[in-house]
Amino acid sequence: MATPAYAYTTAFTKTNSIVFLSDNLRNTLREVIREYGISPAQLMQDWVTIERGIRTWLRSGHLNNVVVEFFKPRATTAAARWGFPIGFEGSGADDDMWLDKNYLRQLIGKSKRPDSDCSYRVLLCTDPGAEKVEGFTDCKFLSTGQMAARQAGTVIATGHMTAGATYWR
Q: For 13-37, what is each residue's pLDDT tens digit? A: 788 899 999 999 999 999 999 999 9
pLDDT of residue 93: 67
Yes or no: say if 19 and 98 are a contact pair by the CB < 8 Å rule.
no
Superfamily of domain 2-168: HORMA domain (3.30.900.10)
- Distance in angstroms (rounded) separating the CA atoms of residues 27 and 80: 18
Residue whose C-alpha is closest to residue 64's, from 150, 137, 123 = 123
Indicate whether this model's pTM tops 0.85.
yes
Residue 78 contacts residue 145 (beta carbons within 8 Å): yes
User: How far is residue 150's CA from residue 121's CA, in Å, rounded to a whole number?
Assistant: 20
- Structure confidence by residue, pLDDT tens digits, 34-49: 999 999 999 999 999 9
DSSP for residue 92: S
